[in-house]
Amino acid sequence: MPISANGRPPFRADHIGSLLRPAALREAFRQFAAKTIGEPEFRKVQDDAIRDVVKLQEEAGLGLATDGEFRRPSYWARFVALTDGFVIKEAQFKFHDDHGHETGFTAPHVVGRLKRRQPISMEEFSFVKPLTKAVPKITMPSPSTMHYWRVGNWQEPGVYRDATEMFVDLGKVYQQEIAELAAAGCQYVQLDEVALANLCDPLSREKAKVLGADPEALVDLYVEAINQALKDLPPNMVVGIHMCRGNFKGKYLSEGGYDSVAGNPVTEADERAKLRLCVEAARAIWD
The verdict on residue 265 lying in a domain is yes
The verdict on residue 26 lying in a domain is no
User: pLDDT value at position 183?
Assistant: 97
User: pLDDT value at position 223?
Assistant: 96
The verdict on residue 208 lying in a domain is yes
User: pLDDT value at position 260?
Assistant: 66
Give yes or no for a contact between 192 and 140, defined as CB atoms under 8 angstroms apart. Answer: yes
In 28-159 the beta strands, taken as DSSP E runs, fall at 64-65, 83-90, 95-96, 102-103, 106-116, 135-141
User: pLDDT value at position 10?
Assistant: 86
Q: Give per-residue pLDDT as tens, 188-210.
A: 999 999 999 999 999 999 999 99
14: number of Cβ within 10 Å: 17
> Phi then psi for 74, rounded to 5 degrees?
-150, 170
The verdict on residue 32 lying in a domain is no
The verdict on residue 179 lying in a domain is yes
The contacts of residue 282 (CB under 8 Å, 6+ apart) are none
Q: How far apart are CA 166 and CA 254, in angstroms?
A: 26
User: pLDDT value at position 1?
Assistant: 39
Helical pair 215-229 and 163-183, crossing angle rounded to 10 deg: 30
The verdict on residue 277 lying in a domain is yes
Range of the domain at 99: 77-286
pLDDT of 107 above 80: yes
User: pLDDT value at position 269?
Assistant: 61
Place 286 in a pLDDT band, splitting at 50, 70 and 90: very low
Residue 115 is part of a domain; what is its CATH number? Answer: 3.20.20.210
User: pLDDT value at position 247?
Assistant: 85
Place 273 in a pLDDT band, splitting at 50, 70 and 90: low
Identify the weakest region by mean pLDDT among 84-88, 155-159, 199-203, 222-226: 199-203
The verdict on residue 66 lying in a domain is no
Tally of domains within the chain: 1
Q: Give per-residue pLDDT as tens, 169-180.
A: 999 999 999 999
Q: Whole-number mean pLDDT of the chain?
A: 90
Q: Which of 14, 189, 12, 50 minimizes the C-alpha distance to 132?
A: 50
For 139-169, the DSSP string reads: EEE-GGGGTGGGTTS-B-TTS-SSHHHHHHH
Q: Which of 110, 88, 90, 92 minimizes the C-alpha distance to 157?
A: 110
The verdict on residue 121 lying in a domain is yes
Instruction: Name the pTM for this structure.
Output: 0.87
The residue ranking higher by pLDDT, 8 or 49, is 49
Query: For the chain, what percent of residues have pLDDT higher than 90?
Result: 78
